Amino acid sequence: MAREGPEEYCRKLPEVLPAGAVVEEQELKGNRLRFVRLSGRGPYTGWVDVREDNTELLTRVEKKAGAAGAAPVQAEDDLDGTSKRKKGSEKWRAPPVEPVAPAPVNSSYPRPGRFWKVVGAPKDGLTVWQGVSESSPILPGTLPQGAVVEEVQVVGNRLSFTDFSMRGPPSGWVNIRESGRDMIVVDMEGLSTLNIAEALKESAGLTFPQMPQPVQATRESREEAPLSGWAKLSEMYQKPLEKQRMDLAAAAAETDSAKRRTRRRRQTSVKEIPPLEELAHASEEMLVDMLGFPEEEAKHFAMMNEESKNRVITECRALIDMSPLERQMAFEKLRKAWPRGPFPSFAKPTENLPSVNTNLLPPGTCFPIKRPPKTSSAPSNLVSALDGKPGTFFAAEPYTNTAEQKQALQALAQKVAALPAQEVAAEPSVAAERMDFCRLPATKVDSEKLAQNVMAKTKLSGADVALYLAEEMRKRPLVMDAGPGPKLKAAGLSEADFRGERAKVLRDSASQLGNVDLLSLSKPNLVLDTHKDYLKAGADICCTNTLNANALAQRDFKTSKFVTEMNKTAAILAKRAAAEITKQDPRKPRLVAGLIGPNSNLLLGANRTRSVSFDDLVEAYSEQIKGLAEGGVDLLALEAVADAVSAKAAIYAAGDVYRQLKQRVPPMLIHAVVDSATGRTPGGQGLDAFYVSVKHAKPLIVGLVASESNEKVLGAYQALGKVAQSFTGMRLGSEGQAPNSLSADATSATKGSLPNLLGVSGSGLPTHVSALAQLQLSGVPRALPEAVKAMMLSGRDVHTVTGFSLVGQRGSTRASDGFKALVDDYKAKKDPACLSKAVDVCAQDAEKGADILDVCVDGIANDGSNRGSKAVFGKFVEMCDTDERISKAPLMLCSSEWKCLREGLCSVQGRSIVNAICLMVGEEEFLRIAKECLKHGAAVVVMAISEEGRCVTSKDKVAVLQKSYRLLRQKLDFPPEDIILDCHLQSLRPDEHPADVISAIAEVRRTCPHASVAAGISNLSAAFGRLSKLREALHTVFLQHAIPKGLNVALADAGNLPLYCDLDKETRQRCEDVILNSGKDEAVLKSFMGFLSFRSGATVCLPLQATVPKDTSGQEAWWDLPECKAAAKEAQKEYLEKRGAMATPALQKAYFQSMKPAHVAVSGKVSPDTGCARPDPCRVTGSGGTGALQQQVSTALASATPVSASNLLAQLNLSLAQKVLLLDGPEGPGQQLAEIKDEASFRGSRFPASAKGNLNLLSITKPDAVLGAHRALLKAGADVIRTNTFYGDALCQKYYGTEAAAYELNKAAAGLAKQAVAEAVSQSPQQLKFVAGVLGPSVGGISGIRAAATWDQLVQSYRPQVQGLVDGGVHMLMLDMVSDTLNAKAAVYAIEEHFSMNPKDRLPVVINITLKEGRTASGQTLEACLASLAHAQPFAFGVAEEKAQVVQEAARQAGCIRGTAEAAGTHSTGSQAERPGGCSHCPCRSDVWGEATDSCWLTAG
């Protein structure tokens, strides 16, 4: 544990120093050491204890003098500013050591720096700056997680680096810490991942205590193919001299021929290779010419510094000591981790490596499953050839008898041979924590000693209590009260009595009348006497006065703060009463049960919607159980349970509380309410299903609470007795029932068999307890059955996995496209109807006979992996739990994220299966998730996936599953019958053989006693897409051979599994051949594919068979071989002749285009409502005559007052009908302003130095210069001038650090341009001038290869610019130099957003598009770009292109550059009749840059 300072009161740091971490001492105060961490994980700096009691927490290590890898610690490395040593503090120094002569160093190499490793990078990587200051520009690249850099210098919190791992920018500055977390730490592990201790010793120059040397592995005679120059070198050093010479010569020749170097090879004689340690000073030529290194590896090694070379040589020495097989595996691992280098990765084997290597999944991830890529839909001829025709894959008649299908599969399961296997026992400490109180090793307990302990009010052992009760329940039914509540309610107490002295001062509390649980504090003597009355009446077990003593129930009385004290006091009072009554009769010890009542807020309405979450329940029950435990109760009683979810929450809370108290959970008594009208719990479960839901708690007694003992209630109790492996109980009675009537009900209820416990319901008084105690019952109580090792699951009903169980997959997004589409629609629209339809799809499985229903709502991320939604999963599971069609069957909860699985477990009443967990998350995380499943009472599916990734061979699958099984049994005492081992069946492919899976199933079933074996059958045929009948045939054949070998759980399409005997002979034989093929005969798969091609009438391949069509040798995949295609074509010849020629795609398209609609609407157009219409800007005309209009506009322009939108558009249309308007140059005033270079002009008095070069900012800092540029352009003849805002959006201004001034500079620029126009119009009123507010292309374009900004960021960037230009008084808005359509659409969105709030002030929009070779920079043609921006209703558009012929070609294609007034609504100059073409895409004018012919707008320059 680390602290911020040396004092005890100093705050503890959230991170701790793990074992093996290396730190450097900074200051020593007594037993406290201030450190800087050099390696491992934990805080970068802090204070730790050197020793604790007599245990050394830290061990001193010594630095070698002159060690090449020693990392000097400089003063600036102390990031928290505490590097100066305080006065009087002592620093520990290492004792002197013998100097070691340093190795000769080549002066040409740089001084070695320390290596740093990125450990806290976000998803997008660590930001890299160009300089040390915060205002420095950000470099385009980032440092990813796991990258390693070499230190140049450290300044404050910034590190200057050079990238050693070549995974980011070559150099730059990064933050070392952000928000209190390490972003990058000193990496002392170095390059070695094979032996960390040796690597640390060699790289950091540290001397550790002598460690035992590993035994050198026996070298195998077999030689492996070397993978790199270092692999060759490691082989050469272990061979005899003559062999070395031969290999050197061969390697040199191989390198010479392979690389084809242009330089002449230096002739060297073959001699003995130099000592390994001298290679650090070898030249690139020596490595290539003498040792046969590839040139790239040699060059890379020569560029490394001295420290890195020593590390590589250390690694090579470790490789030399390996056997050839070990070395081959090591280099295979290294090559995958870092393909560019011959040395290992900096990452640990469990961290940040690609998924193909030892990549452990991040915490919170359960299973790395990916949805298989969608195969293309089968052509129509293929579908028709496969569906419903005799002579195809199956008989013509469909198979609809699902019961017959299940019966056939169950018959196969009876053929499984029961082989003896050795049980895997849990570790003693683990087994002790999870003891079954019904089956303790001892059989008797000393009742006299137990009575003495009761009288002494000491804490009783749970085992002693369970043994005593078990012994008594074998003789007679025990009698139990329902707590003192019923009698206390009948006592007629007042408000003051309930409040007492404690609650009298509660001013903010509600009325306490009826708060019986509070009486333990306000009237303790009354509660004590009431307990005695119940015990004297004959109760063997008395319950505490805590039925509603939890925070949720007490919330109504506003007394939640008394909950812990209330429960503790109630337990003490009950213990005192039991002790006093036991003293009167020591032969009959009285025991106390801590009463945990139901939550009345849990269930609301007919659909049983839960109003409190599972975590809220756990928190409330934890507080209550903690008080009961501190009060010393002997038992825990969960009474009147209405919903299994609340019972599971109480069980979960009890486990956590007693684990924190370091005690064992006492025996539990659980009684559920049974409705006498339905024979089910209020949650809808049968009593037997309720038992299965809570059986993971290993309760001592499970029973029912009912108001009467009718046929429904007795039927529920009998069903409980058939499945319960614990003692059973029955609690009867209704409100106001007489004691003799209760006796009669109890007598009739116990005629069949006596329960082990009889009790009164929540209204029972001492007289009722006395009536039960005095009953004369004949018979023997129910005997405890022998434990059955069978997996029990439950929904509303019980399902026991004894033979074969079928899991339906229609409710999984991984297996059902229709279900996935509904779930995706819900996520997008939040429409409950979509989830309701998804529930209907899931219900089809239950209707078609599925025993278990698979539920998965994971979405698909961009990388193909699954992405879970906790909220959607929880909501869907709750809907399934309340749907009577689905809730009958248990659920298999499937997700790749633990948070989703936990939400599902917290939402379902029944006992479910978690699908799936695997060792790829690491043993620690694997056991943690499995332990959580155990606490929730769920069974688990364990996948055959190891730390290294997916297992392929049968041997690997068996080894991983056996290891997982042993871990679950030994470390957690996980019930073996609740473990489902999945051999991970994959699609048919050359390296995946179903026969291997079948053999693995048999071996796993033989060696893992009582565990189930599962397989996802639908995976087998995933490559065949829509070939449903072929897929079903493969499924049936696989099950026919796998079930007798031990497969007893299969995920498949329920109801669509044909009978094995119904398959036609040829289909069955072909499927058997390919499934039972062990992979030795490749002709089997070829033959199967030829058969498929023949039957389907089309060439079908398996898309998942190979990752590339050709392997490294250039050999084609077998299905592409000419002879294979020729054979398939010959086999299909007769069939294809009958089928006839297929229409080509062109003919198909032409046919559909030739079809005409039968009816076309001819009614009038629908006009928009008032205020919603948007006038066509090209067709707005003025009123009152052209002269009056021009006079009004001229007056407004000269006075710099706003011009109304209608007058402005009318005048523009009138001017365009008369002449060509001239726009100023391409850069507006920018070309003249570019002459300003001094920094002061840009900064002014308020802006930073980074503002230099920001021409748009001159509208604020140099307004006179901008105004002069506008005047010059107007004087030269421009009719429309552009504002100085080409880079005025916030993202562009952020580059200069002036984003806060975006609105101000745009408004100022608009005002300056408007002032220049006013001056010009005042001088010449007949020559009207206009101002165009420019919105340029932002630097955050989002259509490029690498996104610089998101859509929302672009829109947010344009908002202040649009607002500033409009407020500044521009006459139109111009999207200038449009090269990225998506960027322009973001600007249009911001414009529309502004004018939607100010529709009367809407300004015309002009769009200028930049083309190169006929396309925009984002790849669109002019026609496509115009269509993309048509929603902006532009007043005019323009095209910029260097080549005039490209502009004319674009104009011809788009039909918009030249347009007639009738077609395009444009005004033209000259004779309109001479203008060819028409506008079919854009109803606006055209503006051609560089080509003024037939244009309405002309751009100078």
Q: What 3-state DSSP class applies to 1266?
A: helix
Q: What is the dihedral of CA 1188, 1189, 1190, 1196, to 10 degrees?
A: 110
pTM greater than 0.95 (yes/no): no
Q: Are strands 757-760 and 791-794 parallel, antiparallel or unpaired?
A: unpaired
Q: Are strands 757-760 and 478-480 parallel, antiparallel or unpaired?
A: parallel
Please name the residues in contact with 1420: beta carbons below 8 A apart, sequence gap of 6 or more: 1381, 1428
Run means of pLDDT, 10 residues per run, the chain, 1501 residues: 82 77 84 79 80 86 49 35 38 40 36 70 86 81 82 81 70 84 71 35 37 35 38 50 50 47 39 64 72 68 70 66 58 48 34 35 50 36 32 40 75 69 80 86 84 92 93 93 93 86 64 90 94 95 95 88 94 96 93 89 49 89 96 95 92 94 94 93 93 95 92 93 94 91 90 89 93 88 90 94 90 88 89 91 90 88 62 90 90 91 92 92 92 95 89 90 94 94 84 86 92 91 76 90 91 86 82 78 72 54 33 47 62 64 71 71 72 80 77 89 87 86 82 85 84 89 92 92 92 89 94 94 91 85 57 91 93 89 91 85 88 84 87 86 63 42 30 32 41 38 33
Please name the residues in contact with 638: beta carbons below 8 A apart, sequence gap of 6 or more: 596, 647, 650, 651, 668, 669, 670, 671
Is the C-alpha dihedral spanning 612, 613, 618, 623 positive or negative? negative
3-state helix, strand and coil shares in percent for the chain, rounded to the nearest 5: 40, 15, 45
**Packing angle of the helix pair 766-773, 739-749 (nearest 10 deg):** 40
Degrees to nearest 5, angle at CA 318 with 312 and 324: 115
Q: What 3-state DSSP class applies to 1123?
A: helix
Number of Cβ atoms within 10 Å of the Cβ of 630: 16
pLDDT attached to residue 504: 61
Please name the residues in contact with 1141: beta carbons below 8 A apart, sequence gap of 6 or more: none
Taking the C-alpha atoms of residue 25 and residue 62, their distance in angstroms, rounded to an integer, is: 12
pLDDT attached to residue 134: 77
Number of Cβ atoms within 10 Å of the Cβ of 221: 6
- Please compute, for residue 1077, the number of CA atoms within 13 A of its CA located in the half-sphere on the CB side: 22
Taking the C-alpha atoms of residue 575 and residue 457, their distance in angstroms, rounded to an integer, is: 6
- Please compute, for residue 1172, the number of CA atoms within 13 A of its CA located in the half-sphere on the CB side: 5
In the structure encoding, which two tokens stand for residue 822, read together?
């509904």
Taking the C-alpha atoms of residue 103 and residue 68, their distance in angstroms, rounded to an integer, is: 8
Q: What 3-state DSSP class applies to 1014?
A: strand
Q: DSSP per residue over 663-710, as a string?
A: -PPPPEEEEEE--TTTSB-TTS-BHHHHHHHHGGG--SEEEEEESS--
Nearest to 130 by CA among 145, 118, 141, 144: 141
Taking the C-alpha atoms of residue 1480 and residue 1452, their distance in angstroms, rounded to an integer, is: 11
Quick check: bond before 650 cis, omega within 30? Answer: no
Q: What is the dihedral of CA 754, 757, 763, 764, to 10 degrees?
A: 90
Degrees to nearest 5, angle at CA 1289 with 1284 and 1293: 90
Nearest to 1265 by CA among 1252, 1256, 1277: 1256
Taking the C-alpha atoms of residue 118 and residue 352, their distance in angstroms, rounded to an integer, is: 11
Taking the C-alpha atoms of residue 488 and residue 517, their distance in angstroms, rounded to an integer, is: 10
CA distances from 775 to 119, 537, 688, 742, 753 (A): 72, 13, 27, 10, 15
Taking the C-alpha atoms of residue 683 and residue 673, their distance in angstroms, rounded to an integer, is: 9
pLDDT attached to residue 422: 72
**Packing angle of the helix pair 1351-1368, 1302-1323 (nearest 10 deg):** 40
CA distances from 1228 to 1224, 1271, 1301, 1359, 1373 (A): 6, 11, 21, 22, 14
Asked if 1023 and 1085 count as a contact pair (C-beta separation under 8 A), the reply is: no
**What phi and psi values does residue 987 have, to the nearest 5 degrees?**
-70, 160
Q: Are strands 757-760 and 727-732 parallel, antiparallel or unpaired?
A: parallel
CA distances from 399 to 396, 750, 759 (A): 9, 48, 53
pLDDT attached to residue 94: 38
Asked if 1280 and 1332 count as a contact pair (C-beta separation under 8 A), the reply is: yes
pLDDT attached to residue 1417: 84
E-strand ranges in 1214-1345 read: 1221-1223, 1280-1282, 1330-1335
Is the C-alpha dihedral spanning 1459, 1463, 1464, 1470 positive or negative? positive
Where b means 16+ CB within 10 Å and e means fewer, 831-849 reads eeebbebbbebbbbbbebb
Asked if 808 and 1054 count as a contact pair (C-beta separation under 8 A), the reply is: yes
Q: What 3-state DSSP class applies to 924?
A: helix
Number of Cβ atoms within 10 Å of the Cβ of 245: 17
Please name the residues in contact with 507: beta carbons below 8 A apart, sequence gap of 6 or more: none
Taking the C-alpha atoms of residue 72 and residue 113, their distance in angstroms, rounded to an integer, is: 9
Q: What 3-state DSSP class applies to 1312?
A: helix
- Please compute, for residue 494, the number of CA atoms within 13 A of its CA located in the half-sphere on the CB side: 3
Count of positions (residues) in the chain = 1501
Asked if 321 and 310 count as a contact pair (C-beta separation under 8 A), the reply is: no
Q: Look up residue 1177 and give its DSSP letter.
A: G
Taking the C-alpha atoms of residue 1412 and residue 1441, their distance in angstroms, rounded to an integer, is: 6
Q: What 3-state DSSP class applies to 946?
A: strand
Q: 1341 in the Ramachandran plot: left (φ > 0), alpha (ψ -120 to 50) or beta? A: beta
